[in-house]
Structure 1
Amino acid sequence: MKRILIKIVINMKYHVRPYPRLEYGIKKVVNHFPALKAKLKQVGNQKTFYSSFVSTKSNRELLIDVTNVYAEDLKTGIQRVVRSIANELKNNDSLKNIDVQLVFLTDRNGYWCYRYVDEPTEMVVPKAKDIFLGLDFNAAVTEASYAGLFTDWKSRGTQICFVVYDILPILHPYWWYDGVSQAHEEWLKTIISYSDKVFCISQTVSKDVKKYMTQHTLNIQNKPSIHWFHLGADVDNSVPSKGIPENAETVLNQFRSKPSFLMVATVEPRKGHEQTLIAFEKLWADQVDVNLVIVGKAGWQVNDLIQRIRKHIELNKRLFWLEAISDEYLEKVYAASTCLIAASQGEGFGLPLIEAAQHKLPIMARDIA
């Protein structure tokens, strides 16, 4: 209950600030509740609260946010990238003069802070010339920013950088549940407001972010530099998940027995699964003997499609759905397939593209940037 109260207070304080009359009315009500008033005062002094901490580290640090991977690795494309890059930086010999630290964001002690993955009881207190890299997609940074965490870090001389995988919930809100677009936009505004540099996973995403900044110059005063980089597919060195099911060889032989077209993506509205399934139903009706292989967990707003797949007459005959498989098994599925279908209507990049190319698979891709 205490954590919920703190979150409510922080968010309320942030959102009513632009409306003085509303803020005054809330203060009149709050005066009748001394405990809540005390909590509001604590939040109001949050910057002083953060500034009272002193770092116990002497060496310069590169602080890498891996919050979601640390809490629960859902094996999404983003988390595969996070594991890979974090592992590469941790083991990069060229970074000899800086301590590379994996960190996670938490509010479990009643205030937002980062803690070290290797030392979970120790709070991160950065120093001048330390570097923070928001590698994981972590929506909670918005709440942490309301509390003054990143304002404190900036005042200490910490360089702040974030990675942007895409801003599709902002550009296409109808592909997600209500509220996702607004939350994603709050996150984007937050990271732009505090970042020195923003790194995007493709040139297209960097153009989207630059365009967004141009359209919102009145609301965002900070102007970080925007960069982009290529994604890779070095699965062996990305701390891959392991595990092969007992029936794997039987399933893989079914893939090898005829042309097998592979889709690797969470089953969600934008990924094009429904359109692809309709196309294959027409092929099967015309006696074209091919497999459609779907790899990816069930997502959101696709309940009808999920039921259609589960009850399909071709399921486990020429239609296969591997809902949650390891990276080790996925490598074998790529090797046993004939072609990748990338039917998504919008992507930051689409990791399966480079993974399929590494396996020398032909790719059928929707004509998008």
Structure 2
Amino acid sequence: MSQIFLDVSRLVTRLYDGLLPTGVDRVGLAYIHRYGSKARAILSEHGFSAVLTEKDSQQTFDWLTSSTRHRNSIRKLVVRACLNHSKSTSPQKGIMLHTSHNGMEFPRYYRSMAKRNIRCVFMVHDLIPLTHAEYCRPGVDNTHRKRVHTAFKHADGLIANSQATLDSLTVEAHHAGLPLPPSVVARLASGVSPLPQASRPLDTRYFVMLGTIEPRKNHWFILHVWRRLVEQLGNAAPKLVIIGRRGWECENAIDMLERCASLQGVVIEEADCPDDRLHAYLHHAQALLFPSFVEGYGMPIAEALGMRVPVIASDLSVFREIAGEIPDYLDPLDGPGWLDRIQAFAQPDSTPRADQLVRIERFREPTWAEHFEQVDQFLDALQ
């Protein structure tokens, strides 16, 4: 295989800021575990890029896969990378793997890679800013369109995390009148490493939502469902654990979390939840709730079902691509349906929950080995 280069700019920035990894970050970390021992790291900003030395690359990969922030070391690394870049004249050769969307929109990024004889392969996680701009921050649709169209023009290959994402890419390329670069579907495995069974974090029945609090995740809707549960069941209402940081344009959900009196003590917010605690919450949950309006993949579904935890989810095609007929599916706006299903799953001897536990035994969890088998075959075909 050719020399691999990994753009780790987003991961380094988030490490410096002390932020826990999101789903996108977990994919980047999986690529470091797969290729890092023989790869070189790339840092980039606004299309300007620098290839780290072998020593600095390995040090960076070690930092990113450890639990320490290394803020001062990261500052020195960035300065050293810039100095080495200004001194370097020798071309490199190989394939650059970029697993976040950051920087895809700058043509000079592709030109700088081409000068080094490095081919560019990007992972595309979703086209949600184009297909559902109403769920994103203003202006993100234009930025993402530029990212995707620039990749159509200049990328040597694209990796889609699902067939649904590749279908969206195909449609967008057709609408834009641009060629779709060579592409492959490589589904994602769980982003959480297997851990020993942990003790129960709560002494009562509860459900889990996992993901950044943002409009398309539908937290506001579920919080209204929970208020109705409290009205109907009082102290017998199950708890809801929301795992994820507060995102953008989610003021309505935050108002419910902070100001709805009936939800106080019933809804538990875990903004910075380490993996061991996340694992414990998921393992003992009545179900994972995933009421999103749209997703590019849905890693939490794979994580939950892989741990044999039931899932109640929106009826999205990408969820059926991942999990088939195993979860209980509902329309994301069916309030009475979600209320009834949650109440049913909360019962000590829940028949619907028991039925899904039987179906879960058929679930075949995507693995990183399968993912990288697809990616490696794709990269070999590009050479």
List structure 1 runs of 4+ shifted beyond 6 angstroms.
none
Aligned residue number for residue 228 of structure 1: 185
Q: What's the secondary structure of 1:113's corresponding residue?
A: strand
More helix by share: 2
The yes-or-no answer on 1:66 pairing with 2:12 is no
Give, in whole Å, the separation in 2 of the partners of 1:71 and 1:312: 35
The yes-or-no answer on 1:115 pairing with 2:51 is yes
Q: How does 1:141-290 map to 2 (within 5 A)?
A: 141-143=104-106, 145=107, 148-154=108-114, 157-217=117-177, 220=178, 222-233=179-190, 235-236=192-193, 252-254=200-202, 256-258=203-205, 260-287=206-233, 289-290=237-238
| Structure 1 unaligned regions, length at least 5 | 1-58, 92-98, 241-247
Q: Look up the equivalent residue of 1:77 and give its one-letter code.
A: G
Q: Look up the equivalent residue of 1:115 and give its one-letter code.
A: V
C-alpha deviation, 1:190, in angstroms = 1.6
C-alpha deviation, 1:300, in angstroms = 1.0
- Which of 89, 94, 100 pairs up with 1:136? 100
What is the aligned length?
281
Q: What's the secondary structure of 1:235's corresponding residue?
A: coil
Give, in whole Å, the separation in 1 of the partners of 2:151 and 2:262: 46
Check 1:104–1:125 CA distance in 2 against 1; reply closer, same or farther (3 A cut).
Answer: farther
Aligned residue number for residue 345 of structure 1: 293
Deviations 1:201-245 (A, max 9, x none): 11100110011111111xx3x5411211111115238xx9xxxxx
C-alpha deviation, 1:157, in angstroms = 3.7
C-alpha deviation, 1:82, in angstroms = 1.1
Q: Look up the equivalent residue of 1:136 and give its one-letter code.
A: S
- Compute the TM-score of the two structures, normalised by the length of structure 1: 0.70
Q: Look up the equivalent residue of 1:112 and give its one-letter code.
A: F
Check 1:281–1:163 CA distance in 2 against 1; reply closer, same or farther (3 A cut).
Answer: same
Deviations 1:316-338 (A, max 9, x none): 52211111211222111112212
Check 1:285–1:188 CA distance in 2 against 1; reply closer, same or farther (3 A cut).
Answer: same
- Which of 35, 42, 45 pairs up with 1:103? 42
C-alpha deviation, 1:285, in angstroms = 1.3
C-alpha deviation, 1:89, in angstroms = 2.0
Give, in whole Å, the separation in 1 of the partners of 2:119 and 2:299: 28
Aligned residue number for residue 381 of structure 2: none
| Structure 2 unaligned regions, length at least 5 | 58-76, 318-383
Alignment root-mean-square deviation, CA: 2.6
Give, in whole Å, the separation in 2 of the partners of 1:137 and 1:229: 16
Deviations 1:20-64 (A, max 9, x none): xxxxxxxxxxxxxxxxxxxxxxxxxxxxxxxxxxxxxxx952111
C-alpha deviation, 1:129, in angstroms = 4.7
Q: Retained in 2: the 8 A contact 1:78–1:137?
A: no
Q: Look up the equivalent residue of 1:69 and give its one-letter code.
A: L
Q: Retained in 1: the 8 A contact 2:166–2:185?
A: yes
Give, in whole Å, the separation in 2 of the partners of 1:177 and 1:210: 24
C-alpha deviation, 1:156, in angstroms = 5.0
Aligned residue number for residue 36 of structure 2: 90
Q: Retained in 2: the 8 A contact 1:129–1:157?
A: yes
Q: Retained in 2: the 8 A contact 1:126–1:153?
A: no
Q: What's the secondary structure of 1:361's corresponding residue?
A: coil
Q: Look up the equivalent residue of 1:257 and give its one-letter code.
A: T
Give, in whole Å, the separation in 1 of the partners of 2:291 and 2:89: 44
C-alpha deviation, 1:149, in angstroms = 3.7
Q: What's the secondary structure of 1:337's corresponding residue?
A: coil
Deviations 1:112-170 (A, max 9, x none): 123325364233878575101111221x3423x2xx34124335542211000101011
Structure showing greater Rg:
1
Aligned residue number for residue 315 of structure 2: 367
Give, in whole Å, the separation in 2 of the partners of 1:195 and 1:262: 38
Q: Retained in 1: the 8 A contact 2:245–2:271?
A: yes
Aligned residue number for residue 321 of structure 2: none
Check 1:347–1:125 CA distance in 2 against 1; reply closer, same or farther (3 A cut).
Answer: farther
